[in-house]
Amino acid sequence: MPEDKEYTTVDLEYASVYEYVEKKYRDAWEKEELSGFLGGAKNRWEQFEALYRNNYVAYASNYPSVQELYEEKLEAAKAWQDEYYELFEIPEAEQNPIEKDEKGKEELWQEAKADLDFQISNSAAMDACGTMNRDIMLADEEQNQKDLAKAEEISGKAKSAAAQNEAIETLERRAAENPDKLEYVVRGAPLRCIYGSHLRYLDMHETHGVYLNGEPLIHSNDKELGVNIHSFGICSSPSCTLTESGSIMRGAEVDTEGNYLHAPDEQVLSGFICVPEITEEWKNTKTEVQIGHNVVKGMVHPTDCEHYAAVTDASYLICKHGGLIFPLKSGQIPFTAYSPAYESYPFGECEGEEFEKWCNNHNICPNHPATPEYYTWYRKKIDKALENGEKKEAKRLYEECLENAYQVGLDNMKPVSRILAKNRLHAYLESGLLTDKERKEIENRYEGKMRVDYGYNTQKNLSDHTPNQAEFYQYYYEEASANSKEIESMKQKIMENAERGNPQYSQEISGEMNAVWEEQQELYKHFLKEMELYQEVLSDEEKAQMQKVLDAFGMES
């Protein structure tokens, strides 16, 4: 790969505001001799440098310290690393945690130091040049301020470009060196942006009719915001020009259907909200494999339709805010937080009785949480622990059983397994093993969170609550009631206008009413689909709330 290859279109003429001022003004300012300037400057350029140094010291005292910036980067690096180990199922023996990696920590320190210097230097140079412009009364001060702002923007882009180029080179080298190991990307692939705080999933509203292992393939033009690509949380790009700021939980991910998942801690990240701006197609694609975009029945030749290259797990998108978006995995195997302990057993193709014997010897359940056998295994283990008076071990088994089940997602289970999971939870709550405080914590962790915090689902969760929570029914009740009220009001208007002989206005109202009615129908279907997943585990009170919502829709159960 040529060393001088440029991957981005960023103008790298200068990498800081100081360099911009130096290239534009230094020659002229060095010719302007001064006398009596505080600090002993001999010419305008020395005057600028003196102001720059003073400003640098002032800004350095107001910015966060290198230590603070380093700790933020260390925390972010740890989160990314944990995510990587989990996604690629790296055995613990092969892991190299960043907090124990002295070389890695030193690199982070140097990166924090360089980032801080970049911010302080740009601010100091901007102020120094502004002062110079006013002092020597340059003809067009407004234009000079625009030039400085442009210089700051370009220096930020140059810094982003360096990170982009490094990531691109890695992906392109991977594609060139291991073309046979590349995997085609499908809907649901986990995505990362080099400047985004959160992982997101590649989306797709309509398929192209091409599937791999039952999942729809993505092509190079699947890059639309809100359709294929979603916000990556908080943007930390040096060239970011976003203006809307906000806060988000560090661990608040979303699944492949847009549902918010569990946040493992309460750390809040603040900054500019990521809104990806992507104008070009996926790059580094499999150009020899083309996917039709608008194929219809009867087409017989590839030229009859638009077609785009297949995307692989070495492809990437470039964001105008300096980011680079790439797949962490192809998505062919759905990503889940659950990884059974027996997957790391040392026997290779160990099966049958030998496998079950090994699992029992290592106190590992040989069954998947979506099977009834899983709950039978844990029930027997818990009963035995209680018989032996091993309360601590019984608590550990209960929580291990529940955590695995909820990570898989109760929505993914058949009714019998879903009920068994709920039964294990209630058995634990009533076991007498928990203090009042612990009991409340377990209730908060699992009750009502079958969809919001765990698992993958077949549709978006509109209310951010589940049928085990009152807020779920309140959301649908209010939406359905508002729509029903609006429909009735429009019906009344149509009748009144019909009596007044104003059919045109009635026709307009009728069109609006039909739109609201269609919205009501979609909401109703959505509600029913949510309820189907919970019919077996609803309490009498929840069934009454369900009927209240159905009444608001004007439907019968």
What's the pLDDT tens digit per position in 364-401?
Answer: 888 888 889 999 999 999 999 999 999 999 999 999 99
- Average pLDDT score over the chain: 78
pLDDT at residue 395, rounded to an integer? 94
Distance CA 398, CA 381 (A): 9
Of the listed ranges 57-61, 189-193, 228-232, 288-292, the one predicted with least confidence: 57-61
Model confidence band, residue 450 (pLDDT cutoffs 50, 70, 90): very low
Does 339 score more than 50 pLDDT? yes
| Phi, psi at 372, each rounded to 5° | -60, -30
Evaluate if residue 137 carries a pLDDT over 80. no
User: Which pLDDT band holds residue 326 (cuts at 50, 70, 90)?
Assistant: very high
Nearest by Cα to 289 from 309, 264, 269: 309
Identify the three-state secondary structure at position 312: strand
Q: Which residues pair with 308 in a beta bridge?
A: 291
- What pLDDT is recorded for position 455? 39
Closest CA to 329 of 185, 501, 489: 185
Average pLDDT over residues 225-253: 81
* Residue 517 phi, psi (nearest 5): -65, -40
- For residue 505, the SS3 value is helix
pLDDT band at 145 (very low <50, low <70, confident <90, very high): low
Higher-scoring residue by pLDDT: 536, 121: 121
Does the predicted model carry a pTM greater than 0.75?
no
Residues 6+ apart with CB under 8 A from 472: 463, 465, 466, 530
